[in-house]
Amino acid sequence: MEILIALGVGLIFACGVYLVLRPRSFSVVLGLALMSYGVNLLIFLGGRIDRFVPPLTLPGATGLADPLPQALVLTAIVIGFGMTAYLVALALRMLGDTGSDRVDGPGPEEEADGPDGDAPR
Partner 1 sequence: MSHLPILPILIPLVAAALMLLWGQRGLPYHRAFGLGAMALGAMASVALAVEAGTDAISVYAVGDWPAPFGIVLVADRLAATMVLLVYALGIPALLMATGGTDRLGRHFHPLFLLQIAGLAGAFLTGDIFNLFVFFEILLLASYAMLVHGGGPERARAGMAYVIINLVGSAMFLVAVALIYGTLGTLTIADIAYVLPNVPPADLALVRAAFAILVGVFLLKAAVLPMAFWLPHVYSAATPAIGALFAIMTKVGIVALLRLSVIGFGPAKATEALLLPWLPVLALATIALGTVGVFAASRLATVAANLVLISSGTLLFAVAFADGPATAALLYYLPHTTMATGGLFLLAGHIAERRGELGDRLVRGPCVGDRMTMGIAYAVLAVGLASLPPLSGFLGKLMLLQGAGDGVWQPLWWGALLLSGLGVTLVLSRSASLIFWQPEKPLPAVPSASGPGLALWLLVLAGPAWTLGAAPAAAWARDAAGQLHAREPYVAAVLGDVPDIQRERRP
Which residue ranges make up the site for partner 1 (CB under 8 A)?
A: 16, 20, 25, 28, 32, 35-36, 38-40, 42-43, 45-48, 66, 68-69, 72, 75-76, 79-80, 82-84, 86-87, 90-91, 93-94, 97-98, 103-105, 120-121
Smallest gap from residue 24 Cβ to partner 1 (A): 11
Smallest gap from residue 13 Cβ to partner 1 (A): 8
Among the listed residues 53, 70, 69, the one whose alpha carbon sits nearest the alpha carbon of residue 61: 53
Smallest gap from residue 51 Cβ to partner 1 (A): 15
The Cα 63–Cα 61 span in angstroms is 6
Buried b (16+ CB within 10 A) or exposed e, 8-47: ebeebbebbeebbeeeebebbbbbbbbbbbbbbbbbbbeb
Question: Is the Cα torsion angle 112, 116, 120, 121 positive or negative in sign?
Answer: positive
Kindly tell me which of 58 and 79 has the beta carbon lying closer to partner 1: 79
Smallest gap from residue 60 Cβ to partner 1 (A): 20
Kindly tell me which of 59 and 100 has the beta carbon lying closer to partner 1: 100
